[in-house]
Amino acid sequence: MKRFKIGVVGAGYVGLTTAICFSELGHHVICYDKDTEKIKKLKEGKIPIYEPGLEDILKKTYQKNIFFTDKPEEIYANSEVIFICVGTPEMPDGSADLSYIEACSIELTSYLKEYKLIVEKSTVPVRTAEWIERTIKLYNPHADFDVASNPEFLKEGSGIKDFFQPDRIVLGVSSERAKKILLEIYNEKEFPYPKIITDVKTAELIKHASNSFLALKISYINMVANFCEKVGVDVDVVAEGMGLDRRIGREFLKAGIGWGGSCFPKDVKAFIKMAEENHEDFSILKEAYKINEKRIDHFIEKVKKTLWVIKGKRLAIWGLSFKPNTDDIRESPAIKIIPRLLNAGAYLKLYDPEAMENTKKIIPPNVNVNYADSIEESVKESHAILILTDWDEFKNANLPTLKKYMITPIIIDGRNIYDPKKVRELGFLYVPTGKP
């Protein structure tokens, strides 16, 4: 099997997973990031993010067939295939900020003397590849290259599994040469999964359409969850009943405090913006976004209804990351709920298995906010536990012991991690989401 000299631009959640997984397959990989601190850490063999399993692979491949650099000449001159994995965050108007994509497109132009394949892995608006191509040609009319799209569908926390066993691989290509290279990299032996080979703009669109659909699906079940609370029905049972229909599917029907993370919020907004620019009204996505924003108000209302007065209450906050198995707090519902509780006068003890360091950078400890070393520590002298992320550690907590440490045994569960009957039998006042 042919092994390639692969360059990966951006050492974030996607770039690092891509680079390290390609190195596991024996490709020669150079991963480049302009963030010198990140590269310094990586050169010491340390992973600057929490993504289970990455460090173990890196131990095997580091300095054998994967290298890290903060120097553009080292990656661009030495790669045959360049995967662009830089961020595409949100602009104030909701559109995607493509300045990082543009910056690396310009940076690589002077290294295109011999043919190179440039592959977008970042999530980008439809037709971004056309702009990359145009930019490169503007700076270097003699450049020999193709731009392809290979959108990434990995989920944080299960990035390695999603890389090696994806549901599908989408390859958007504009030449036979690009198609051949990508099919060699994603060969049937190493990737025996459905492959969609299409033109570049279709591949770009598949990514936005997928993320927005998943966000819409979660908002739908959250809308149903609100109704379930009104009529005394269990949303999890409703979701099970719906999900057994293969046309609907059980996944992404977990009601809770809403979708966060670095992708769904910005990608839904960017898709709405793209539609607007093309005079299409994606009002269904606007509603999905609104429903999601209202999850925070809904949860705060639940806390008020349960505790009566929030001022002066000591609350154990379980979970800061936007979902379990990651230290990522970008657009995390927890990070939106915490200031609301503080404004209402609560004292908070925050606990998360992995995301406390990141949270301390934006919510430093003070007289009203403490960070606990353990779940036991978090609940001591507390009036209630608020569950904001569904980490396994919380699911497996020893509730009878924890109850003894609490002033009042109250659990307000934004993620429905417990069986209400069992928790109530233990003597807790248990307030789930979308359930009687």
d(CA 41, CA 31): 13
Annotate each residue in 350-389 with x if it binds ligand NAD (CB under 6 A) or - if it does not, as one string: ----------------------------------------
391 counts as binding ligand NAD under rule CB under 6 A: no
In this structure, what token pair is assigned to residue 391? 């980490």
For the CB of residue 155, give the shortest distance to ligand UGA in the complex, in Å. Answer: 4
Cα 51 → chain centroid: 11
For the CB of residue 224, give the shortest distance to ligand UGA in the complex, in Å. Answer: 12
Give Cβ neighbours of residue 296 (< 8 Å, ≥ 6 apart). 257, 258, 333, 336, 337, 340
CB atoms within 10 A of CB 383: 20
For residue 86, the partner it binds in ligand UGA, ligand NAD, none, with Cβ less than 5 to 8 A by kind, is ligand NAD
Q: Which residues pair with 44 in a beta bridge?
A: none
For the CB of residue 252, give the shortest distance to ligand UGA in the complex, in Å. Answer: 4
Order of strands across the sheet with 145-149? 66-69, 28-32, 5-9, 81-84, 116-120, 145-149, 169-172, 195-198
d(CA 377, CA 382): 10
Instruction: Strands of 306-395 (E only): list them.
Output: 314-318, 347-351, 369-371, 384-387
For residue 418, the partner it binds in ligand UGA, ligand NAD, none, with Cβ less than 5 to 8 A by kind, is none
325 counts as binding ligand NAD under rule CB under 6 A: no
Cα 422 → chain centroid: 32
For residue 264, the partner it binds in ligand NAD, ligand UGA, none, with Cβ less than 5 to 8 A by kind, is ligand UGA
Per CB under 6 A, contacts with ligand NAD among 252-271 are 262-263
For residue 260, the partner it binds in ligand UGA, ligand NAD, none, with Cβ less than 5 to 8 A by kind, is ligand UGA
263 flagged as catalytic:
yes
Per CB under 6 A, contacts with ligand NAD among 6-45 are 9-15, 32-35, 38
What does the angle CA 227 – CA 229 – CA 232 come to, to the nearest 5 degrees? 105
Which residue in the set 122, 149, 222, 389 belongs to the binding site for ligand NAD (CB under 6 A)? Answer: 122
d(CA 221, CA 241): 12
Q: Which is nearer to ligand NAD, 123 or 292 (CB)?
A: 123
Binding positions for ligand UGA, rule: CB under 6 A: 123, 152-156, 211, 214, 218, 252-254, 256, 259-261, 263-264, 322-323
For the CB of residue 123, give the shortest distance to ligand UGA in the complex, in Å. Answer: 5
Choose the stretch contacting ligand NAD; rule: CB under 6 A; options: 81-89, 188-196, 219-227, 235-243. 81-89
For the CB of residue 64, give the shortest distance to ligand UGA in the complex, in Å. Answer: 28
- Burial 67-104, CB ≥16 within 10 A → b, else e: bbbbebeebbbebebbbbbbbbebeeebbbebebbeeb
For the CB of residue 383, give the shortest distance to ligand UGA in the complex, in Å. Answer: 25
Choose the stretch contacting ligand NAD; rule: CB under 6 A; options: 139-147, 150-158, 301-309, 336-344. 150-158
d(CA 413, CA 385): 8
CB 171 within 8 A of CB 179: yes
The catalytically annotated residue of 31, 85, 104, 263 is 263
Residues annotated catalytic, as ranges: 263
Residues that bind ligand NAD (CB under 6 A): 9-15, 32-35, 38, 85-88, 100, 103-104, 122-123, 152, 154, 156, 262-263
